[in-house]
Amino acid sequence: MTSLLNKLLAPHHEYLTLDRDLIVLETSCRAKRFADCPEQLILGNDVRASFPELIGIEDILLDILLGQRTSFELKGIARSRQEESLLHSASLSDRAEEFNAWSDDRRPSNTELSTLNPPLLYFDLYISQYQEDSENRLIILLEDVTETMVLQQILSQRINEANLLLSSLTASKNYINRVVTSMADALLVTTASGVVKTINQSAQQLFGYSQDELIQKPISLILPNQDFLQEINNLAESNSGELLKDREVICQTKTGDKIFVAFSCSVIQTEIDGLQNLVYIGRDISERKRVEAEMLTALERERELRELKSNFISMASHEFRTPLTAIFSSSELLQYYGSNWSEDKKLKYYQRIEGAVKRMAKLLDDVLLYSKVEAGKLEFNPKPIVLEKFCQDLIEEIQLGIDEKPTITFIYSGPCDKVCLDEKLLQHILNNLLTNAIKYSPQDTPICFSCSCENGEIIFEIQDEGIGIPLEDQRRLFESFHRAKNVGSIPGTGLGLAIVQKAVELHGGTVTFTSEVGIGTTFRVALPLN
């Protein structure tokens, strides 16, 4: 048996034969090199002491022995190399170099070199059964496959390393993609010339474009500010890294809306040296801008209120002082000289006091009315009204209160049927405009007051030939307490026209005027018929 086996198997295989108790019966001469503990591989010993691979598969071995299974094979068992087997490594190096030549130009790495002089020996183990002296025995064939396994290791090493790298790159790419996608800020990457390469979800939402609509398109599509883009280009040429931070720019969405976006921009180097890309990170600040605008309006309002207050104090002190002085001086004169004066003269002074009191009362009325207007408490109660009569009564009333009766020409061209207006408010409107016309016109100059209805509107026009309103005052004429520069000593609160404007607005109408200094002024009030 031994000689036959040796002839058959040599030089590629070594062998062992075993009895049913796994006791070694025979071994080929170099079988020891495959043993885990070569000193244990002796005849009469349990084979498992030298080949621990057989531990655990005793049932399988028994099956083979009994002919219930033909064979069992374990491939590529690695064994720490024994001293003698190092002879092998020279031929391995030759094979490895050959392998490297056809695989690529790469020189073997240190890892691979250590594999080429492997500390490990690889073998395949094949177990089968044979009969000798009518007794079943086991034969274990051992084949050295170190060369194949080392090459397989090099291949497997490269493939696995590549796969690990791929897995790590994919994971990192996915992670970065997720970060970019979930960013609340809009992110855009463009080429140096401004062609969009990458955009994230937030950018798509902010500008209303889909990814396909923006990729490969110029960034000017959403960032029409050419000066800003030029500035970035200039900076990019001379800098690297962050170029600017939180720059507020007006952008345009797909629907054409303008939005405020705060952009930070940086330069990134591409894989090609000298070729750069630009990264824009934008945050929608439209809401912040709106709040800022609201705050500015509130501040402006507060400033106006402060001005109003100071204007009111200065107006009140001035406007009250004049009639008070008139009352004080008249009463003093009456007190000292009244007994010597004629009844007519005394009456004149009494009337002067009465006039001053009326003026103060009017002033207080105006202030109260204005405070109502400001607080939004002015009520609007439209009722049917006969316009012609209302106007005529108003003119009479005004003329009654004035010593030197002015000439007011009233032209009613109608027809104004079924007119519905707030009588109180209309009185404020017309009374203020007419008394202004009288107040700021020289005596004996005509005042024309017309009322007509056309195209569903009632038109009142009050025309005078008075001092006129300087151009620079016309813009602010309806502001409270504002009085034109050329009023001189003519008394006034500066509230009349502010009240007029509010009352007209409550009617849903408009008030306009034309004026020229020294020529005269025409006020035009248009109110809807109903």
Looking at the Cβ atoms of 120 and 262, the one nearer to another protein is 120
55 binds another protein (CB under 8 A): yes
Q: Considering only residues 1 through 40, tell me which ones interact with another protein, judged by CB under 8 A.
A: 36
Looking at the Cβ atoms of 149 and 527, the one nearer to another protein is 149
Q: How many residues bind another protein (CB under 8 A)?
A: 34
Segment interacting with another protein (CB under 8 A) among 163-171, 262-270, 397-405, 463-471 = 163-171
Closest separation between CB of residue 125 and another protein, Å? 10
52 binds another protein (CB under 8 A): yes
Closest separation between CB of residue 23 and another protein, Å? 17
Looking at the Cβ atoms of 36 and 231, the one nearer to another protein is 36
57 binds another protein (CB under 8 A): yes
What is the distance between the alpha carbons of residues 82 and 379, in angstroms, rounded to a whole number? 112
Among 62, 120, 334, 506, binds another protein (CB under 8 A): 120
Query: Dihedral of CA 15/131/61/19: which sign?
Result: negative
Closest separation between CB of residue 24 and another protein, Å? 17
Q: Which two tokens stand for residue 260?
A: 């405020």
Closest separation between CB of residue 82 and another protein, Å? 15
392 residue type, one letter: Q
Segment interacting with another protein (CB under 8 A) among 161-169, 269-277, 327-335, 466-474 = 161-169
Residues 409 and 391: beta-carbon distance below 8 Å = no
Q: Which x/- pattern, by CB under 8 A, does the window 134-153 give for another protein?
A: ---------------x--xx
Strand (E) or helix (H) holding 414: strand 408-414
Residues 494 and 473: beta-carbon distance below 8 Å = no
Which of 121, 129, 93 has the alpha carbon at shortest distance from 108? 93
What is the distance between the alpha carbons of residues 312 and 482, in angstroms, rounded to a whole number? 10
390 binds another protein (CB under 8 A): no
Which of 211, 190, 179 has the alpha carbon at shortest distance from 263? 190
76 binds another protein (CB under 8 A): yes
58 binds another protein (CB under 8 A): yes
Strand (E) or helix (H) holding 450: strand 447-454
CB neighbour list of residue 302: distance below 8 Å, 6 or more residues apart: none
CB neighbour list of residue 70: distance below 8 Å, 6 or more residues apart: 64, 128, 129
127 binds another protein (CB under 8 A): no
What is the distance between the alpha carbons of residues 499 and 458, in angstroms, rounded to a whole number? 19
Contact positions vs another protein (CB under 8 A): 36, 48, 52-53, 55-60, 72-78, 111, 115, 120, 122, 149, 152-153, 156-157, 159-161, 163-164, 167-168, 171
